[in-house]
Amino acid sequence: MRLAAAAGVIALMTVAASAQQRGGADEAAIAKARTAYQTAAGTQDGAAIAKLYAPDGVEMPPNGPADKGRAAIEAFHKAFGQQFMMHGMTITPTETKVHGDYAYDVGTYKQMLMSQKNGSMTDDHGKYVVLLKKDASGNWWITHAIYNSDVPLPAAPAPVKK
């Protein structure tokens, strides 16, 4: 009886260790995708950002509509690059959880943006939530990403008195 119970405990520990190793590999793959996003965003490479998304992935930037699909995501980042020049970006995860072939990654970001129009600098920082799905070959793809700034929008200009 004790031998059977010990064998059962050993079997459960082996299954748990195997799941933990898979989870660790998955979290490492997600961290690699996060780093690739940070690098691509920092160099304003819209095509490289779009390639991190599932073909029907959705990016939900602040102050605008959602962009669905790689072409729309790439176009958004190219247009953003025409408005602002990035001077560094840092992404800091605070929670990453894997649930089978799905995962989420939550954290904060910091970036320095320079207006292409007037050269003014904005020290932006905020938070994000990213949902990911693993495909049959083991690659992780962003399915949804939403992020928003902790920095308030600039005040509207005062109305012109006539």
- Encode the chain (162 residues) as per-residue pLDDT tens digits: 444 444 443 433 333 333 444 558 999 999 999 999 999 999 999 999 999 999 999 999 998 999 999 999 999 999 999 999 998 899 999 999 999 999 999 999 999 999 999 999 999 999 999 999 999 999 999 999 999 999 987 777 778 777
Residues sharing a CB contact under 8 Å with residue 30, sequence separation 6 or more, in sequence order = 96, 98, 103, 105, 132, 140
Is 124 a member of any domain? yes
pLDDT at 157: 74
Q: Which CATH number is 140's domain given?
A: 3.10.450.50
Answer yes or no: are the C-beta atoms of 116 and 91 closer than 8 Å.
no
Alpha-carbon dihedral of residues 44, 151, 146, 58, nearest 10 degrees?
-50
Q: Is the pTM of this model over 0.85?
A: no
| Domain of residue 124, residue span | 2-149
Look at residue 160 and tell me if it is in a domain: no
What's the pLDDT at 154?
75
Q: Say how many residues make up the chain.
A: 162
pLDDT at 88: 87
Number of domains in the chain: 1
Tell me, yes or no, whether 67 lies in a domain.
yes
In a domain, 127, yes or no: yes
Would you say residue 158 lies in a domain? Answer: no
Give domain status of residue 24, yes or no: yes
Provide the 10 A C-beta neighbour count for residue 46. 20
Report the pLDDT value the prediction gives residue 23, as an integer from 0 to 100.
57
Name the helix (H) or strand (E) containing 102. strand 102-115
Cα–Cα distance, 79 to 26 (Å, whole number): 33
In a domain, 105, yes or no: yes
| Amino acid residing at 127 | K
In this prediction, residue 142 carries a pLDDT of 98
Residue 44 lies in a domain: yes
